[in-house]
Structure 1
Amino acid sequence: MSTQTPTKRPNTFLEIIFNIAIPSVILMKLSGDEYLGTVYALILALLFPLGYGLYDFVKNKSMNFIALLGFVSTLLTGGIGLFELDVQWLAIKEAAIPSAIGLVVLISGFWGKPLIAKILLNPLVFNLELIYQTLENKNKTDEFKAKIQRANHFLSTTFVFSAAMNYLLAKWIVVSPAGTTEFNEQLGEMTLLSYPVIAIPSMIMLIAIMFYVVRSTMKLTDLKLDNILNSEK
């Protein structure tokens, strides 16, 4: 029997600290001319998410598609600020990143390999061998695939929500020209608010989707939760 090395899960606390908290404080408190100034404050603030992304890549020896888009998003934010582009591009960029992820999720379903299955149906969590065998014995495999496809559509919808909220948040908060102290402060405020306004609701949606998948699996297989969970791992 082959063993599978568990994938290291991201540290949510560190992600919040390096990607949200520290950059927001730097942009909001150190962008004035009496401190770092707009350019150096922006560069320093962007170094933290970029540095953490590189550290995570080196540590785990891999970078998934979503993490790569996050890395690109940080570089684009820096480019908009440093080259003093129209702030309209910031709102477009904020909407474009989750839209691209949502499109990938949607297309993965049409390819017959829905991304939701890779995210939720983890052999370290679920007893997939028992689940698939039971579904086959009950002739419920096609119905289960339809449920997974629907869950994949739900997941794509969460990114549509994220794209819309990112765009509205950027348009509402960041109104000052790039390259100014006010732009940096507003960018920090937007970054700080993105967690309670966007990240937490999206997380709740993902939990609801997970609940839907688990309930559908239990209903189609007539197995209890203790049976479908892989207690050995």
Structure 2
Amino acid sequence: MTETNPTTAATEQKPKKESLQPKKESSQPKKESLLANLLINIVIPTLILTKLSGDNWLGTKWAIVVALAFPLLYGLHDLYRSGKVNFFSALGTISVLLTGGISLLKLDAEYIAIKEAAIPGLLGIATVASLYTRWPLVKTFLYNDMVLDTAKIARVLAGNGNQGAFERTLQHASWMIAGSFFLSSTLNYILAKLMLQSPPGTEAFNIELGKMTMVSYGVIFVPTAIILLLALFFLLYRIVKLTGLKLEEIMAQQ
């Protein structure tokens, strides 16, 4: 009978134990880079439109094509990477295509102003309309499993009979979200009317379009983001009050 060396046996078993351990890194989804998002969607298109629209560079038409290709390709890359259609990425892609189409066809700048106002305006209307369906959009924007432990919240609300009060809370939060979209719609239209003064198809129009792209993220994004944050804080405050749970107990476990 052959004797087994305990040290050798332990050494042989060790790699097997390590191979059974799950690799956490492979299961982690890659996070989107905020810097890359800002560069590709704002900074690079703005620089191309404002600096390369002259006849000595790309010219007015090609400057628009190249500038808008960056956010368009970035949206398509996001679709390929995630393997599913992201509603907001799709909306951004449509917006880019409309801007490019209107500019290349040399339509009146009024159409761009209408387009800029229409997209957030439609989102606001959709948010309000979704309250009368089984899938309110507030659950997509704020009340979802990525942010909150919705299963625990629903269980506690059912136990203490506060489901009706919580539904009213979701309605109030929905109106706040819709209000942020309507504000964005109004500011988009005003900004486009103020900044797009030159005829489409000219170098001056491209420069104005580039500047509008850059300015809009400060003028429009900041107040809209503030309203959305207020809606989130309101929702968290009401959930804590209606469930009796602490804030850390209702947050989704990452």
Same fold (TM over 0.5): yes
Q: Which amino acid aligns with 2:59?
A: G
- Give the corresponding residue for 2:141: 119
SS in 2 for 1:125: coil
- Please tell me whether Structure 1 or Structure 2 has the larger radius of gyration of its CA atoms: 2
| 76, 79, 97: which one aligns with 1:54 | 76
Identify if the C-alpha distance between structure 1 residues 113 and 163 changes in structure 2 by more than 3 Å, giving closer, same or farther: same
Shift of 1:136: 1.2
Residues 66 and 101 in structure 1, CA contact (< 8 A), matched pair in contact too: no
Residues 138 and 173 in structure 2, CA contact (< 8 A), matched pair in contact too: yes
Larger RCO (alpha carbons 8 Å, 6+ apart): 1
| 205, 209, 226: which one aligns with 1:187 | 209
TM normalised by structure 2 equals 0.85
TM normalised by structure 1 equals 0.92
Q: Which amino acid aligns with 1:48?
A: F
Residues 116 and 188 in structure 2, CA contact (< 8 A), matched pair in contact too: yes
Q: Which amino acid aligns with 1:136?
A: A
Shift of 1:109: 1.1
SS in 2 for 1:171: helix
Unaligned 5+ residue runs, structure 2? 1-26
Q: Which amino acid aligns with 1:87?
A: A
Is 1:28 the counterpart of 2:50? The answer is yes
Distance 2:147 2:105 in 1: 46
| 35, 41, 44: which one aligns with 1:19 | 41
Q: Which amino acid aligns with 1:211?
A: F
Residues 149 and 251 in structure 2, CA contact (< 8 A), matched pair in contact too: yes
Aligned length: 228
Q: Which amino acid aligns with 2:250?
A: I
Shifted more, 67-76 versus 50-59: the winner is: 67-76
Query: Which consecutive aligned stretches of 4+ in structure 1 deviate over 6 angstroms post-superposition?
Result: 5-8
Shift of 1:8: 6.4
Q: Which amino acid aligns with 2:188?
A: N
CA-based RMSD: 1.6
Shift of 1:168: 0.4
Identify if the C-alpha distance between structure 1 residues 117 and 6 changes in structure 2 by more than 3 Å, giving closer, same or farther: farther
SS in 1 for 2:114: helix
- Give the corresponding residue for 2:24: none
Distance 1:9 1:215 in 2: 28
Is 1:128 the counterpart of 2:171? The answer is no
